């Protein structure tokens, strides 16, 4: 009964805090537990163009379907709500927990497509469902923390602070961590059904390591992972090959993988922040590796990054990334390449800053036959699918909890490139596809956005 009263009091206090702007942290009556309600709201007004013209352009002059030119959008972006806390279990240790949910402020929640125009690339998870984002239960003490649940991978978290355009149309995930040049950044992602360790700080050094069992009952990782509504890799492409009456087996033929491993080491001292990180997805199932058959191979990524804050209020970020795929046929391998990121933030005052960013995607050994960029000639590296993204932005901070921003991004794809804008976090992506689900390569995509954020 006493615990029920404590929970009821906490719930009432949270409701009062949310309604009247009171501090959101609640301390339980017995004094050994804390509970905090928090959130982040980010909305923007965008104007975007895919760089395609009526009748076709670039490497694909065939007729296209749909609207062309600049189009307006309103995006919810990376908005979320959650609650977290801890409970003292003695000996200097605590049980820690968090439940976090994405919220679509300007759109109706539902199944979230990875590609905004491609029904064949949609997944069945609902982003607005409870615990759709980082959620866990674990233990913490002077020795570090051990948690189980779902989380942004250590590989992703290690460089998240190096992207001043995060969740905007200029997000570095349009290239960084993005192996296929689409709207999935496979190596800047959240890993489900995972367990991980976070070390304490030793001087300026720390590390984190994660293992996520694949939970896939198919030897080629071609079906939904057990306990998941979608492919572990987040692809969602494929077909329902077994009718619902017989169990409804869905083939995840692009992106489903087995176990995932992610580790990151961090060193921080004064104005210096440096990282080294590695992540591996075992036996990834890819339909685009062959004109006919699906190929299975390990995919991995490693990166090194440095951020330095100069006395001139200038912060420079540099990242180099290498992504690899153990592809049986190099001529079809579009997922092995180098990537780099350079970003500069210049504070103009205590409230104003200007941001500049450049991301580069190097060429890959090959490209899928019949896929974007046309058929492969058989000579590895014959398709120029490199790309450069340029971002510029301005941000005004009203205070530590609120700001407004303006961003312009330009994605310049080479002849075989089909990288998009706004991947991983931005509400509306600038996709390479038209209304008929045809992806056009070699285009220059552009987007301009004005938005504002509030955190509590």
For residues 306 and 329, membership in a common domain is answered with yes
User: How much is the pLDDT for 221?
Assistant: 85
For residues 365 and 327, membership in a common domain is answered with yes
For residues 45 and 8, membership in a common domain is answered with no
Residue 387's alpha-carbon distances to 3, 57, 160, 358, in angstroms, are: 57, 17, 21, 11
- CB-based contacts of 120: which residues, under 8 Å, 6+ apart? 237, 437
CATH value at residue 405: 2.40.160.10
Query: How high does pLDDT run on average in the chain?
Result: 82
Contact 396, 352 (CB under 8 A): yes
Q: pLDDT digits over 398-442, tens only?
A: 999 999 999 999 999 998 898 999 888 787 888 777 777 777 788
For residues 409 and 263, membership in a common domain is answered with yes
Indicate the pTM of the whole model: 0.85
Lowest mean pLDDT, pick from 275-289, 340-354, 389-403: 275-289
For residues 15 and 116, membership in a common domain is answered with no
For residues 446 and 382, membership in a common domain is answered with yes
Whether 115 has a pLDDT exceeding 90, the answer reads no
Whether 61 has a pLDDT exceeding 50, the answer reads no
Q: Which residues pair with 305 in a beta bridge?
A: 275, 319
Q: pLDDT digits over 176-215, tens only?
A: 999 888 788 899 989 999 999 999 999 999 999 999 998 9
Instruction: Report the alpha-carbon distance of residue 312 to residue 58 in Å, rounded.
Output: 43
User: How much is the pLDDT for 279?
Assistant: 98
For residues 96 and 4, membership in a common domain is answered with no
User: How much is the pLDDT for 141?
Assistant: 97
Contact 253, 221 (CB under 8 A): no
For residues 5 and 112, membership in a common domain is answered with no
By CB atoms closer than 10 A (0-12, 13-18, 19+), residue 239 is: exposed
For residues 253 and 302, membership in a common domain is answered with yes
By CB atoms closer than 10 A (0-12, 13-18, 19+), residue 94 is: buried
Return the CA Rg of the chain.
23
For residue 7, the enclosing domain spans: 1-31
Contact 344, 324 (CB under 8 A): no
Instruction: Report the alpha-carbon distance of residue 166 to residue 152 in Å, rounded.
Output: 14
For residues 138 and 12, membership in a common domain is answered with no
Contact 214, 246 (CB under 8 A): no
Residue 297's alpha-carbon distances to 251, 289, 290, 291, 347, in angstroms, are: 17, 10, 12, 16, 45
For residues 11 and 82, membership in a common domain is answered with no
Instruction: Report the alpha-carbon distance of residue 300 to residue 324 in Å, rounded.
Output: 5
Contact 261, 292 (CB under 8 A): no
For residues 25 and 118, membership in a common domain is answered with no
Whether 108 has a pLDDT exceeding 90, the answer reads no
Q: pLDDT digits over 210-252, tens only?
A: 999 989 888 888 888 888 877 777 555 555 555 555 455 566 7
> Which residue's entry shows tokens 């301005």?
394
Percent of the chain whose pLDDT exceeds 90: 54
> What DSSP letter does each residue of 406-426 carry, written as one string?
EEEEEEEE-TT----BSTTT-
Instruction: Report the alpha-carbon distance of residue 145 to residue 95 in Å, rounded.
Output: 9
What's the domain count of the chain? 2
Whether 19 has a pLDDT exceeding 90, the answer reads no
Q: DSSP assignment, residue 224? A: P
More confidently predicted of 129 and 356:
356
| Residue of 371, 358, 373 whose CA lies nearest to 417 | 373
Q: pLDDT digits over 293-319, tens only?
A: 568 889 999 999 999 999 999 999 999
């Amino acid at each position: 009964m006493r615990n029920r009263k404590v929970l009821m009091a906490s719930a009432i206090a949270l409701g009062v805090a949310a309604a009247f702007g009171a501090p959101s942290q609640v301390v339980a009556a017995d004094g050994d537990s804390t509970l905090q309600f928090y959130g982040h709201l980010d909305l923007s007004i965008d104007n975007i163009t895919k760089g395609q013209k009526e009748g076709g352009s670039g490497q694909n002059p065939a007729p296209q379907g749909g609207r062309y030119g600049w189009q307006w959008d309103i995006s919810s972006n990376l908005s979320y709500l959650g609650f977290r806390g801890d409970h003292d279990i003695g000996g200097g240790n605590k049980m820690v927990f968090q439940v976090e949910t994405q919220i679509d402020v300007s759109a109706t929640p539902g199944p979230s497509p990875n590609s905004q125009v491609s029904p064949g690339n949609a997944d069945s998870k609902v982003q607005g469902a409870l615990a759709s984002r980082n959620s866990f239960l674990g233990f913490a003490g002077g020795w570090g923390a051990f948690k189980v649940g779902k989380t942004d991978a250590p590989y992703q978290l290690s460089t998240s602070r190096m992207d001043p355009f995060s969740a905007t149309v200029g997000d570095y995930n349009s290239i960084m961590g993005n192996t296929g040049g689409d709207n999935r950044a496979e190596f800047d992602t959240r890993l489900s059904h995972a367990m991980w360790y976070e070390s304490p700080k030793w001087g300026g050094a720390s590390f984190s390591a994660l293992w996520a069992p694949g939970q896939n009952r198919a030897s080629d990782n071609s079906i939904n992972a057990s306990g998941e509504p979608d492919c572990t890799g987040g692809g969602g492409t494929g077909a329902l090959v077994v009718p619902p009456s017989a169990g409804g087996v869905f083939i995840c033929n692009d992106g489903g993988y087995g176990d995932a491993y992610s580790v990151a080491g961090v060193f921080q001292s004064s104005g210096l922040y440096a990282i080294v990180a590695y992540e591996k997805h075992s036996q990834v199932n890819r339909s685009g590796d062959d004109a006919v058959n699906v190929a299975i191979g390990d995919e991995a990524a490693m990166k090194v990054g440095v951020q330095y804050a100069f006395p001139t209020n200038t912060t420079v970020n540099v990242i180099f990334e290498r992504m690899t795929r153990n592809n049986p046929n190099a001529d079809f391998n579009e997922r092995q390449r180098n990537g780099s990121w350079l970003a500069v933030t210049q504070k103009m005052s205590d409230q104003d800053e200007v941001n500049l960013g450049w991301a580069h995607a190097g060429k890959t050994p090959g490209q899928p036959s019949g896929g974007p960029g046309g058929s492969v000639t058989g000579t590895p590296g014959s398709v120029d699918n490199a790309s450069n993204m340029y971002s510029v932005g301005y941000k005004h901070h009203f205070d530590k909890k609120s700001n407004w921003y303006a961003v312009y991004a330009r994605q310049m794809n080479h002849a075989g490139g089909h990288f998009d804008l706004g991947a991983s976090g931005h509400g509306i992506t600038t996709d390479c596809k038209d209304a008929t689900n045809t992806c056009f390569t070699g285009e220059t995509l552009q987007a301009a956005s004005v938005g504002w954020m509030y955190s509590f």
